[in-house]
Chains A and B, each alone.
Chain A
Amino acid sequence: MTTVLQLMWSGLISGFAYALIGLALVLVYKTARILNFAAGTMAGFGGFLSYWFFSEKGLPWGVAVLLSLILSGLGTAVIERLTIRPLIDKGFLAIVVMTLGIEVFLANISLEWWGGTAKNFAVPFDLNRTNWTINLGPIDGLRINAWHVVIGVITFAILAIVGYIINRTELGLAMRAFAEDQDAAKLMGIKESTVSQVTWVMSAVVGSLTGILFAPVLFLQQDYMNIIFIKGFVAAILGGFTSLSGGVFGGLLLGELEAFAVKYAPSEVAAALPIVIVFAILLLRPRGLFTRAKSHERV
């Protein structure tokens, strides 16, 4: 019983990572029909920036994090304006290649500035080294890492905030309308440039925050967010790549499946799990697991 709960808990935590990156990817795809291959590296960059501000510049931890989020946002706004926007009419391939180019560029800048050795990402109160043990009734010896709890709390907060922006603000409404029908949205006075910028910046900030949250868990090193990024893709696919909540649930599901597979299945199988899922979804149900057949489809 305890083992199962332990697995469920660890699956949940990795699931949060996948869910957040999945969210970041779906955000960009929904509005701009673009696949952002640089998302993992951008997320990692956020982690590195925080580390730099905190450990090398001596800024208070909270300030370091805030500063790196702001820089991520601004940097992405610039990248979007200079490299993505000019390609808007040039087709899917051109933009994908561009994000690949950005990925290579950023990954190597990161390598150049911070080197290839793993770094210790310190967090306030050494929470990542604090473990609590729960003994309650049938539960015996359930170990919960304090930082994991922080991850959970912050993830919920991020999801709530993003959800609020998307669903309850005028800007979010504009984004949703734009995602449904670009031309009709333009006729309502919505600017393509605004939607594009906001989407990318939001996606980048979510990504950076994820990079920061998981740096203590994965250890800050070159390409540390790449694995998360790929599984975030799988999560997004599970959500049919068009549903934000679908991407989130997809991530959680993947996290859980993975946790159990690693424990109970041969290692090749556990490693192959994401690919099996991807192939299965693509071949059997491309619109994803979590989207209903479009009941709102026009006749």
Chain B
Amino acid sequence: MRDRKVVAFIPGDKFPAVTITGYSCSLMCDFCRGKYLKGMTPVRKPRELYDLANRVWERGGRGLLISGGFDKYGKLPIRPYLSVIRDIKKDFDLIISIHPGFLEREVIVKLKECKVDIIDYSFAFNPLLLKYMRLNLKPEDVVKHFREWLRVGFEHVVPHILLGLRGYISRWDYEALRALLQFNPHLIVLLVFIPTKGTPLESLRPPLVKDILDYVNYANKTLQCSEISLGCMRPVEYKDSLDELLISSKLVNRVANPHKRLIEKYGLLKVEACCSVPYSCINCS
């Protein structure tokens, strides 16, 4: 049982997710096939990202999540946007999160120079997941990449663990937690596999709620100093079952986009930002 109150993170239009590759992706992972890009705001060139930042400011927004499709090496093609990100950080007090994939050190250093605040890191530790991503990476490479971000000096590198690929929680999901132990992350985000229509995995089912609860219990015991967030990628039907169980038992600290019903029932504080944003950026404790 965690003593902190559970907080609802609702990015909405105050913290929009942006795709810098439009709706296209070269990686085309088997569990996504670029479907989730369609829920993001597309920008076609750096100037459009700047204008979007201005619009976000003009609606009292908090920040931007810069994401998009990856190239075939699992990297977000961020280079053309580096200078405009620097300008945005210079001109606006917006929080910038990036979902970068597995970038090379040189670009990581540049992102640090641009004063990017948060890295949403896909902690794809499960070899099956890496296979579905068509990446020639091993679990230890994922850890190595994670360490790279920290070495460059990023304070807020938030590992995202996708649970229950193919419908069951595997030992790799548990291994991912143990691999993170050495880093003592301040926050981890848990995502739940969604069998998405139009992908090769559409006919599968999501992992069982009971198994997820066991996992989250274990995560609490393993990473005692880390906050745990239930991220926005989870089956919509779980918002009634899993969400309520996690909120009422206080097994997580944060939930992204919970039902309004649960917000009211449990009197959750609402924060209009991505669930990986640290409290130091949004000023509450």
Partners in one complex: no
**Residues of A bordering B, CB below 8 Å:** none
